Amino acid sequence: MSVLVTGAAGFIGFHLSRVLLQRGIPVIGYDNLNSYYDPALKRARLENLHQLASRSGVPFDLIEAHLEDPVALSAAFGGRTLDGQALASGPPRRVVNLAGQAGVRYSVENPSAYIQANLVGFGHILEGCRQHEVDHLVYASSSSVYGGNTKLPFSEQHSVDHPVSLYAATKKANEMMAHAYSHLYGLPATGIRFFTVYGPWGRPDMALSLFTRAILRGEPIQVFNNGQMMRDFTYIDDISESLIRVLDKPATADLGFDSAQPNPARSWAPHRIFNIGNSNPVPLIAYIEALEASLGMVAEKHFLPLQPGDVVATAADTSALEDWIGFRPGTPVEAGVAQFVEWYRDFYSL
């Protein structure tokens, strides 16, 4: 039973694909390898996946295309290459959509990229799932949907009607679109609100990579909101384990759903929403201190105002996730940052 992983060359998609292959599950990777950040890192991740597949004998196929391309997506759902050849993985029965345009701050500068990838592209994902009657769609949402909320920790039962970035708005829209397909077509779909994911092979545009590169070069780091930020930093291995367990447990209808007092995280349709976070928010300064300890160096810090689209604090209530899959992320920041630094020094030969 193969799994279609969109964004397979991305940070989370790569790690999830590795775990699937290690468990003997064929993977169809789908990625456009765009230049939002260095494509060389994405290709290195893909090479790692191809090597793992070669050693294990578990198929890993790759289709290089955009979500906005319905022909290419149709080929992936049909278990075919772009020229019509059968994929070794066969047609997927489950789909994990991790592709799309990432980045909160970039959405302020280039909103059209988010409309195309995150709205038009996700619409094509939903149509592919409907037409091919997949067993379960798991799709990436974001903690950014909580927007201007100040009540912590964030719960799936809170309102998410006040996004502060277009990126967040597209993720909220994805949740609404998926619910409609679950209601109209019976598509089991689960939305995942990720909280500040970090770890080895991480994105170079994320804070941990930016800080590490600058510190090693003796350059100052930019610390926004004058350092008064809190984030629920979540280690990538905890994310992968959570995703695997969610994928193995398709969303079901809540038979006790009360339309007079609706629970935003559940539905009469087979659609669910879950936070995946560490449930232990950490001040940004403490995160930086963990990095300094792992590097054995002290950063020069430039304190700056809060950036448009950013929020001051995030914290995840993951009790619903724990009840659903019997797992709760919990890797301490100190341990996760140390693993990242070890990988970073090795990968970049530093």
Rounded CA-CA distance 95/110 in Å is: 28
Catalytic residues, by residue number, are 167
Q: What residues in the chain have per-residue pLDDT under 70?
A: none
Q: For residue 284, give the amino acid letter.
A: L
112 CB-contact burial (10 Å; exposed 0-12 / middle 13-18 / buried 19+): exposed
Q: What is the reported pLDDT for 104?
A: 79
Q: What is the reported pLDDT for 308?
A: 84
Whole-structure pTM value: 0.96
Q: What is the reported pLDDT for 199?
A: 98
Contact criterion met (CB below 8 Å) for 72 and 6: no
Contact criterion met (CB below 8 Å) for 286 and 333: yes
Instruction: Write out pLDDT tens, residues 202-240.
Output: 999 999 999 999 999 999 999 999 888 999 999 999 999
Mean of per-residue pLDDT scores for the chain: 95
Unique residue bearing structure tokens 């060389």: 40
Instruction: Write out pLDDT tens, residues 270-279.
Output: 999 999 999 9
* Best CA proximity match to 317, nearest among 329, 305, 302: 329
Sign (positive or negative) of CA dihedral 46, 47, 48, 54: positive
* Best CA proximity match to 139, nearest among 202, 168, 96, 182: 96
